[in-house]
Amino acid sequence: MHISVPKETTPRETRVGLVPESVAKLVKGGHTVAVERDAGLASGFTDDQYVKAGATIAPDFAATVAGAAATCKVQPVTAAQASALPSGSALVSYWAPTGQPDALAALNARQVRLLALERVPRITRAQSMDVLSSQATVSGYKAVLLGAGALPKLLPMLSTAAGTLAPAKVFVIGAGVAGLQAIATARRLGALVSGFDVRPAAAEQILSLGATLMKLDLAAVSAVGDGGYAKAQTAKQQLDTQGAITAHVKDMDLVITTAAIPGKKAPVLITDAAIRGMKQGSVIVDLAAETGGNAEGTKAGETVVVHGVSIIGPVNLPSTAGFHASQMYSRNVLTFLNHVIKDGNLVLEESDEITGPMMVKA
């Protein structure tokens, strides 16, 4: 089977769909792979590495995807790119939230089957294909570094000839993959860390990393949906949660928010009143910025100062660590390809418990 790996063209995107390590495994399995020139360069992978892995290098998008049964990307295709994909082939990439209707229409016109990686179901068999989890690891780590760089103080306690410096206080909202990685990173850097999640089961994970819990009756505000994800709280639960967070953040130096509800706008957990009560110079890193933000005033892709508090709304943090983000993403994609390739052919069945939910239709 022939597989293509185009170069990403979205601004600030440094990742690549497959890294040389994964390409070598596909070639060893009897497949052929075409990689667009310099596709991996932004993430630290050269064309020579791809050639050594057994790939061929193509000069442009059209030449890369020509004859491919499957095209592996990170960001969604444009309408023009969709029109260049081979009829009847498959596209494996992210789709939400930036995939465009005109691109989907072009894919349908070409009978290209779109498999959205963010739709990988949360089941045991699919864990090794879960790009949301692998990329959230990078986001949680990077969020702490981003916040630490913006703070006017250091994170760890330091004993110096000029006296002792008190450790910074870090609060992480949401204990999914990104939140737990943020807690672990802040702890490694020496901060005093506390955490919160609307899922009571997450409390044990927060405590296991050496953080403390924000004081709140978890049973009263619990909001757990299908697959263990958080779901929207009731109006009263949200008010109770906002009230507890308002009281807690007034003593914090750095707050990292990661709360998200699949397919919906991010819940507002840090109100303007809460921000007003925070210390001057404190920082909020809102990882939910791309879906509306967990803090009032968050602007995706910008840093704004509200009541003396810096609110950072990062977008596409995984691309700031393109090498490792691409490695993990590529391994997810490779595992998925191995799942759907049978006897050298791509077999996509709607009845399959992994493939079916990933299919995007008009």
Strands (E), 50-197: 56-58, 70-72, 90-93, 113-116, 158-160, 163-165, 169-173, 192-196
Q: Are 257 and 171 in contact (CB under 8 A)?
A: no
Q: Are 104 and 360 in contact (CB under 8 A)?
A: yes
pLDDT > 70: what percent of the chain?
96
pLDDT attached to residue 223: 60
The yes-or-no verdict on residue 360 having pLDDT over 90 is yes
Task: DSSP letter for 230, please.
Answer: B
pLDDT attached to residue 229: 62
Domains, the chain, with CATH or none: 2-129+321-360 (3.40.50.720), 151-315 (3.40.50.720)
Alpha helices, DSSP H only, in 114-258?
131-150, 177-188, 202-208, 218-221, 235-249
The yes-or-no verdict on residue 50 having pLDDT over 90 is yes
pLDDT attached to residue 206: 96
218-240 in b/e form (b: 16+ CB < 10 A) is beebbbeeeeeebeebeeeebeb
Cα separation, 261 vs 271, whole angstroms: 18
pLDDT attached to residue 286: 98
pLDDT attached to residue 199: 85
pLDDT tens string 173-232? 999 999 999 999 999 999 999 999 988 889 999 999 999 999 877 666 666 655 556 667
Average pLDDT over residues 257-285: 94
The yes-or-no verdict on residue 105 having pLDDT over 90 is yes
The yes-or-no verdict on residue 303 having pLDDT over 70 is yes
pLDDT tens string 234-258? 788 888 889 999 999 999 999 999 9
pLDDT attached to residue 236: 84
pLDDT attached to residue 216: 76
pLDDT tens string 130-149? 999 999 999 999 999 999 99
Average pLDDT over residues 266-275: 96
- Residue 162 three-state SS: coil
Active-site residue set? 122, 127, 130, 133, 229
Average pLDDT over residues 315-331: 97
- Residue 304 three-state SS: strand
325 or 98, which is more confident: 325
Cα separation, 75 vs 12, whole angstroms: 11
pLDDT attached to residue 234: 79
> What is the rounded average pLDDT for all residues in the chain?
94
